[in-house]
Amino acid sequence: MFKRLSTKLIVTLFGLLLLMSASFIAFALWMAPMFLEELNQKLNLDLAQNIVKEKHLMLDTQVNHDAMQTVFMGLMLVNPAIEVYLTDPQGNLLAYSAPKGVVKRQRIDLEPIRCFLEKKEHFPVLGNDPRDLTRDKVFSAAPIYEKQKLQGYLYIVLGGQAYDSVVALLQSSYILRLWTAAVVVSLLVALIAGFLVLRHISRRVQLLAGSMERFKQSDFQQSIEHLDRFDGRRGDEIDQLGSTFREMSERIIHQVKLLQHNDASRREMVANVSHDLRTPLASLQGYLETLMLKAEQLSDEQRHEYIDIAYKHSERLRKLVSELFELSTLENQDARLHFEPFSMSELVQDVCQKFRLEAEKKGLQLSTAITTQPTFVSADIGLIQRVLENLIENAIKYTPDGGQVAVSLIIASKTITTQITDTGQGIAAEDIPHIFERFYRVEKHRNLDGTGLGLAIAKRIMQLHNSSIDVQSRLNLGTTFSFPLPCGHI
Ligand code: ADP
């Protein structure tokens, strides 16, 4: 029934306020008569004493009835609720103002009178009411001395009303009614204010809970509207919760997309790998089978040719498998690099030396613009050599005979950038964004010997060095690949 947070909070607030106001009113109503009695007694504290001083109520140990009568009359006029009693030193009634027959006690307890006279107790001090055996009342009292001897007490019951019910009490006092109304109005105001505040708070919680539910229903894939309201600017807990949830949901959506993308590219890669492996494998198998079945019919020349082709296919297979393995090792999260300072110009010289023969065979000019300045960089020398090899190999492969390939170093204050420029066929603008993807090969180069993995490996190596590879290319004019590395010191 009270499942919603707002209902729970409002019911609790209402209950608490009601309990508080009820106890407040009950306490006040319980206190009111006592307060009135205290006031009454304090106002009339010296009443009995003053009368005793003024009137000789006892004459030679006898009651002075005339004086008593005047006192009765006088007080009756002032306040008809007041009753006057004269007692002997033991508390036995000697004379009183009340009509005969209504007095039910002939003796009153002296202990409250002593307390009153000595002011030992807190006011109101209640004493016996001779007209009522069950009820005690506030009073004023004074001892009467005649010839230095205690002759008795003047005992004035101050009367005042006894209330049978709260309603009777409230009906009798305008102030009490006003006060009760004030408490009820404050209760209502507090309730309305509390209701509005709680509704405001619970609305935000509801909004958040609703957003979470919708996010769950969208299978954690759709970003949720309205969540930008929780921008953490208000700084309260709901705001913090909202902004954390917003960030969390964005992160989850991003991760889910990444997972889906990774899954798709993994599937694509498996398809590519199997396709790229199947083709050379099938050719290899075909040539070997021909060699096995028709060995006798083939001439020596044909046999050599077939073996040569089979070898080339097996070589291609080996290259593909080893590059795949290399890439997957580099893509491993814990790929470890061995950083060390080394001379980039020396490495460039060494790698170019390796390719010089191949370039010459194609009639290409492979040049290195090497400087005398120190060119130390801090990197993994084995991996940087791999990048250089891939880029120079590509430059040679994709530059027609008679072209030029140049490797140069650009030295800046903190970096050394290696540039490999060729005068080859260039790469079309639409292909440039894809050439670093695994297995991507420009259409017209598919018949050439290549795996489509070289640039993916080079890019990953540069990523591991917190660097990147840049490519500038113009069709039929040439291409420049470049990568920067931080300067290193020995
Ligand atoms: P591949 O083994 O096919 O060379 P890479 O990943 O090294 O694979 O290169 C991807 C594609 O980028 C190549 O197939 C080629 O089309 C293009 N490419 C790379 N380098 C050059 C270059 N220097 N000039 C022209 N095209 C290039």
Neighbouring C-beta atoms of residue 284, cutoff 10 Å: 19
The whole-angstrom separation of Cα 229 and Cα 239 is: 8
Query: Ligand 1: which of 320, 398, 460, 469 to mutate, most ligand atoms within 8 Å of CB?
Result: 398
CA of 384 to the centre of ligand 1 (A): 18
pLDDT of residue 61: 77
Kindly give the residue spans of alpha helices, DSSP state H, lying in 332-433: 344-361, 381-397
CA torsion angle 161 164 168 173 (round to 10)? 40
The whole-angstrom separation of Cα 379 and Cα 11 is: 69
pLDDT of residue 331: 85
**Domain assignment of residue 183, yes or no:** no
CA of 376 to the centre of ligand 1 (A): 28
Query: Ligand 1: which of 437, 441, 460 to mutate, most ligand atoms within 8 Å of CB?
Result: 441
CA of 427 to the centre of ligand 1 (A): 8
The helix (run of H) or strand (run of E) holding residue 474 is strand 470-474
- Which of 167, 191, 220 is where one domain is finished? 167
**Domain assignment of residue 384, yes or no:** yes
CA of 277 to the centre of ligand 1 (A): 19
- Which of 100, 132, 167 is where one domain is finished? 167
Pocket of ligand 1 (CB under 6 A): 390, 394-395, 398, 422, 424-425, 427, 435, 440-442, 445, 450-456, 479
Cα-to-chain-centroid distance, residue 489: 47
**Does one domain contain both 435 and 459?**
yes
CA of 441 to the centre of ligand 1 (A): 6
What ligand 1 atom has the least distance to the C-alpha of 425? 25
**Domain assignment of residue 291, yes or no:** yes
pLDDT of residue 293: 92
Strand-pairing partners, residue 376, are 343
What ligand 1 atom has the least distance to the C-alpha of 448? 3
**Does one domain contain both 319 and 402?**
no
**Does one domain contain both 62 and 161?**
yes
CA of 268 to the centre of ligand 1 (A): 20
**Does one domain contain both 302 and 393?**
no
| Tokens at 244, concatenated | 């954390």
Query: Ligand 1: which of 272, 397, 425, 435 to mutate, most ligand atoms within 8 Å of CB?
Result: 435
CB-CB contact of 362 with 470 (8 Å): no
Strand-pairing partners, residue 343, are 376
Give the chain's domain count: 3
Closest residue by Cα to atom 16, ligand 1, is 442
**Domain assignment of residue 240, yes or no:** no
**Domain assignment of residue 69, yes or no:** yes
Query: Ligand 1: which of 321, 445, 472 to mutate, most ligand atoms within 8 Å of CB?
Result: 445
What ligand 1 atom has the least distance to the C-alpha of 420? 23
Q: How far is CA 224 from CA 4, 206, 382, 402, in A?
A: 22, 14, 48, 60
Query: Helix, strand or coil for residue 217?
Result: helix
pLDDT of residue 234: 74
**Does one domain contain both 399 and 446?**
yes
CA of 435 to the centre of ligand 1 (A): 7
Closest residue by Cα to atom 23, ligand 1, is 395
CA of 350 to the centre of ligand 1 (A): 22
**Domain assignment of residue 11, yes or no:** no
Kindly give the residue spans of alpha helices, DSSP state H, lying in 44-98: 47-54, 65-78
**Does one domain contain both 327 and 344?**
no
Q: Which domain holds residue 92?
A: 44-167
Q: Read off the pTM.
A: 0.56
CA of 257 to the centre of ligand 1 (A): 29
What ligand 1 atom has the least distance to the C-alpha of 456? 6
**Domain assignment of residue 407, yes or no:** yes
**Domain assignment of residue 51, yes or no:** yes
**Does one domain contain both 308 and 360?**
no
Q: How far is CA 306 from CA 193, 279, 320, in A?
A: 95, 16, 21
- Which of 148, 167, 186 is where one domain is finished? 167
What ligand 1 atom has the least distance to the C-alpha of 399? 24
Closest residue by Cα to atom 25, ligand 1, is 426
**Does one domain contain both 163 and 76?**
yes
**Does one domain contain both 312 and 419?**
no
**Does one domain contain both 299 and 381?**
no
**Does one domain contain both 352 and 429?**
yes
- Per-residue pLDDT 10s for the chain (490 aa) are 566 777 888 888 889 988 988 898 888 888 888 888 888 889 888 999 999 998 888 887 788 888 888 888 888 888 888 889 999 999 999 988 877 788 888 999 999 999 999 887 788 899 998 988 888 889 999 999 988 889 999 999 987 555 556 667 677 778 878 888 888 898 889 889 988 988 888 888 888 888 888 888 888 888 777 777 777 777 788 888 888 888 898 899 999 999 998 899 889 888 888 888 888 899 999 999 999 998 888 898 999 999 999 999 999 899 989 998 998 889 877 778 899 999 999 999 999 999 999 999 999 999 998 778 889 999 999 999 999 999 999 999 999 999 999 999 999 989 999 999 999 999 999 999 999 998 888 877 776 678 889 999 999 999 999 999 999 999 999 999 999 999 987 6
CA of 389 to the centre of ligand 1 (A): 13
**Does one domain contain both 288 and 403?**
no
